[in-house]
Structure 1
Amino acid sequence: MVLAGKLITELGIKTPAEKFFKLFASELHEVQNVCERVHHTKLHEGEDWHHTDSVKHWTYVIDGEVHTCNESVEEVDDQNKKITYKLFGGDIENYKVFKLILEVLNKADGSSAVRWSIDYEKNNEDIDTPNGWMDYLSKSTRDIDGHLVKGEKVVL
């Protein structure tokens, strides 16, 4: 059985790419206020939510069950609107590696999309592939997009 893998989903969004990316790049603490599946998050270590030395603690729901983990920002690529998060501890302890990668894309037709990738390596073959995360990320993206679009003016 394969212990390492990658899961990817791409979702069209109505929010301009720059605005969606900004939420994750500089306003991450707001996610818990706009996303139904995020119950609570707090700064666990560090002074800044977006610094690579900071650690955040998340409580969230996947497949109807409450989970927890810690997260830190591993890399931010502002030019390509890409952020790599390292998840660890809590319910992620069954994985040697668990990276969550957000890419916000400007499409050729003028629309925007969000691509979520999960790079993972399980501790052993008895651990499930994190498929529930794809549904969680898809639904959370819809919640966030809906919230951000409310502030946008529609141009006809």
Structure 2
Amino acid sequence: MAISGKISVEVAIKVEASKFFHILKKEFHNIQNICERVHGANLHEGDDWHHTDSVKHWTCLIDGKVITCKEKIEAIDEEKKSLSYKLFDGDVGQNYKVFEVNFQVTETNNECSLVKWTIEYEKINEDAKTPYAYLEFLEKGTKEVDDHLHKA
């Protein structure tokens, strides 16, 4: 069984890449009002949700279980419409030494886009599960945000 790895999922969405990127870059604090599996989010450190020095505390439903973790933006690339996050502490910290989530959205055609989520992880030990449930959480959340933006 692998201790570290990389898994990813691609999700087609019905909105422009710039709209989707904007909500994750500038309105991340609203995700808890859009996605049913996000039970709560608070700014833990810092005074700006969207700054690389800030730490957020999340409570989410993943694989039928309420989990908590902290998250920090590691990198923002506006040109490539990508963000990198580091998740730690809480349930994530109990199972993984490294847990990085990378996101990129690209235009596919007129007003449609493709969102790619990649999780890079290193397990604490071989008993920790490969984080497929986290990938499913991101996929479902992407569809919820897409539906929200498509209705707006």
Task: Give the shorter-chain TM-score range.
Answer: over 0.9
Letter in 2 for 1:146: D
Report how many aligned residue pairs link the two structures.
150
Partner of 2:28: 28
Q: Which sections of structure 2, spanning at least 5 residues, go unmatched?
A: none
Partner of 1:134: 135
Deviations 1:6-61 (A, max 9, x none): 11000100111100000011110010001011000000000100111100000000
Matched-pair identity in % = 51
Q: Which runs of 4+ in 1 moved over 2 A?
A: none
Deviations 1:108-134 (A, max 9, x none): x33301100000011111111111112
Deviations 1:75-108 (A, max 9, x none): 000000000000000011121110011101112x
Structure 1 position 74, deviation (Å): 0.2
Q: Which sections of structure 1, spanning at least 5 residues, go unmatched?
A: 152-156
Partner of 1:41: 41
Q: Matched residue of 1:52: which SS?
A: coil
* Higher CA-based Rg: 1
Q: Matched residue of 2:33: which SS?
A: helix
Partner of 1:55: 55
What CA RMSD, in Å, does the superposition of the two structures yield over aligned residues?
0.8
